[in-house]
Amino acid sequence: MPDCAPPLAQITPVGQTLPAHACDSHFHIFGPADVFPYAEQRPYTPPDAPFEQLRRLHRQLGISRGVIVQPGCHGYDMAATLDALDRGAGQYRAVALLAPDADERRIAELDRRGVRGVRYNFVAHLANAGWDELAAMAPRIAPFGWHVCIHSDQASLPGLLTRLKTLPVPFVIDHMGRAAAAQGTTSEAFRALLALRGHPGAWVKISGLDRVSSSGVRPFQDGEPLVSALLDAMPERLLWGTDWPHPNVAGAMPDDGELLNTFLRLCPDADLRRQILVDNPDRLYRFESVDSP
């Protein structure tokens, strides 16, 4: 039985037209479990959220590109994600979970299919592979132009950033590092995030507004100062994502249309919007380069 709530069936309409090739840089595909079973040892059991459902959401939002982040409930089994990439007509990319023994041949195959990075979790409620595994993988993925994707939290972020800067690959911080909104833009974790400005290998996702919110109440306005501070400091290193279908939500289930409207309101400049929604993801995920399956 699922232990996570499903995403909202109805979302708020998006108030403005997005630029062509707008990208949702963070979401997950779940199942369907009767085709793509969940891992036996999984940190949570979600309701199915298959690729077809994701495509409907993206049509509603006006999004044509996206990045699938391999979820912990599927573990190292990339079948659901690879199926979505194959069906996505070149408009989707992915970030993998890789077994520690993944070799160059496996990485090359995933790269050909559209995978562009490897994710590691450093939050307490998810499996934490540890720094040694990440550091050993980095030189293996470097020749492919991949990055490491980091799911951190308020406690782990500052120490991780010091280490991440030593890697031979770029790194992406998910969900604004999950810095706590209640501590504002002057907390140690968020100041460390802002200090990435100018670092050539650092990227930050404006995603998970509900995950940084300390209220847990829609529309998660207490997290907006964090978004605004990042927009002011480093728009050339930002990515935007929904985090659909929002697994393990502690408070109110996010409304994806509402989340996008919040971003558009906080980023009214058309050129900056295009940079964050189109140009930045195109640079990092290389949408122009993928072979046919």
| Helix pair angle (51-61, 79-87), 10° resolution | 50
Report how far residue 183's alpha carbon sits from residue 145's, in angstroms, rounded to the nearest whole number: 35
Are 177 and 207 in contact by the 8 Å Cβ rule? The answer is no
Mean pLDDT computed over 61-81? 97
What's residue 74's pLDDT? 97
254 DSSP 8-state letter: P
Q: Is 243 a catalytic residue?
A: yes
Active-site choice (24, 210, 222, 243): 243
Report how far residue 245's alpha carbon sits from residue 247's, in angstroms, rounded to the nearest whole number: 6
Closest C-alpha among 183, 189, 258, 256 to residue 223 = 183
Residues 199-247 have pLDDT tens digits of 999 999 999 999 999 999 999 999 999 999 999 999 999 999 999 999 9
Closest C-alpha among 209, 291, 285, 205 to residue 252 = 209
Residues 118-127 have pLDDT tens digits of 999 998 665 5
What's residue 130's pLDDT? 85
Q: List the chain domain ranges.
A: 23-285
pTM: 0.96
1: pLDDT confidence band, cut at 50, 70 and 90? Answer: confident
Indicate the class that CATH gives domain 23-285: alpha beta
Classify strands 92-96 and 115-121 as parallel, antiparallel or unpaired: parallel
Mean pLDDT computed over 244-260? 95
